[in-house]
Structure 1
């Protein structure tokens, strides 16, 4: 579990508790509606920090601690007043809804930033290729970009004929293994080097042999498609196509 999500889960339990406890000295001067609104703010904060599961846990925690500290009888999970029951239920429902919206907003923001970063990477590589002194410089630039975008331990470029039958990163971002249906999301990267062919218009120019970092997760589909596009930029820089077909 990522550290940020782990911290969010702890905060989902502790933050509503801390807020509800801090409001105890002033509970006689606050309406239950205002207390509930303050607790919803805590739920939103947790949701923005973590994921939707942390947000849902925070909503449940907020409802429980609202009941425990701010409804009669105090310091008990029993509720006597009908209005208090309605407020607790509404706090839970609103907290759940807001937590999901906050988590989705965070996800969309991450996707937008990631997409912007990928576009900038492709743009910079294309600009580098226009002014590069030689195709080999472009090949090396793409190699460095692949290491970053796929979080690789190592990467090298091979020209010439295709030797062996390594796992291959395909044009659609999937990974194929000879005589095997490979579930990348479930199984992670296959062992050993992974081939990414530098092709353009169906013509093969060479291939990048990539070694994933041990224990690292598989980059998202967007990153893998960026890697495929980067390899195509290297193929374009290498000039005339070789007679070896990319469908070999």
Structure 2
């Protein structure tokens, strides 16, 4: 499964940003205490972790400790340290960098989860209101199609009414994807090839299906997003059932 570009960039920043910071601090190595120089590099590590991932933060901490040793402690341009205080500063830099970077990455993750949850709630609330007050089932289907494209990062999505034809990969009610009756490992294999079926079902009655095409190279969204997609499809099924169009027992 492809690695997100942001994560790749964050790992690269974890390697290069401490190096750049150490080079900038070179003129200060004789006038500023080494402990203070190490703390300045910790700031860089925290920035990398806050913008990237835990892995990027850990790599940043290791990189900062290495370049601190190489450029800012005697003997210079060597990974050997002679002064006991410099050894302590290097250990402090590595330890604090690792700890703080993990905390920064966790805070970023929690913030992202909170924002995502709020966005999902807004989607469901808006679709529920539309299903309740709209007089056009086609309008609801169009709205749900647009929401599915956004929440699942799809390149295309179309709605089919009628009998079930073929056995395409299917997004099941528990959020898993099945291919030919077997559960597909989304985390390891990514999206399966071709269109993926999402059935619009209400009260056990099949009203149609959304045929979804993931964007090329896109990473499958987390389980929470897939469950939201299932709820959105159910909202589209409800007015179709009331219209008495297609009602096939699943």
Out of 2, 9, 16, which is 2:11 matched to? 9
- Which residue of structure 1 lines up, in the alignment, with residue 32 of structure 2? 30
Q: Which runs of 4+ in 1 moved over 6 A?
A: none
Distance in 2, matches of 1:232 and 1:166, equals 19
Number of paired residues? Answer: 246
Q: Which runs of 5+ in 1 are unaligned?
A: none
Residues 61 and 190 from structure 1, CA distance in 2 versus in 1: closer, same or farther, beyond 3 angstroms?
closer
Note the alpha carbon deviations across 1:219-238, whole angstroms, 9 max, x for none.
Answer: 22122111100011011122
Distance in 2, matches of 1:4 and 1:191, equals 24
TM-score, L = length of structure 1 = 0.90
Establish whether residue 238 from structure 1 lines up as the match of residue 244 from structure 2.
Answer: no
Distance in 2, matches of 1:180 and 1:149, equals 24
Residues 15 and 238 from structure 1, CA distance in 2 versus in 1: closer, same or farther, beyond 3 angstroms?
same
Residues 84 and 120 from structure 1, CA distance in 2 versus in 1: closer, same or farther, beyond 3 angstroms?
same
Deviation at 1:174, TM superposition (A): 0.6
Distance in 2, matches of 1:177 and 1:73, equals 61
Residues 188 and 77 from structure 1, CA distance in 2 versus in 1: closer, same or farther, beyond 3 angstroms?
closer
Residues 156 and 11 from structure 1, CA distance in 2 versus in 1: closer, same or farther, beyond 3 angstroms?
closer
Out of 137, 140, 151, which is 1:138 matched to? 140
CA RMSD of aligned residues (A): 1.9
- Which residue of structure 2 lines up, in the alignment, with residue 124 of structure 1? 126
Out of 9, 19, 22, which is 1:20 matched to? 22
- Which residue of structure 2 lines up, in the alignment, with residue 162 of structure 1? 164
Distance in 1, matches of 2:9 and 2:166, equals 45
Q: Which runs of 5+ in 2 are unaligned?
A: none
SS at match of 1:239: helix
TM-score, L = length of structure 2 = 0.90
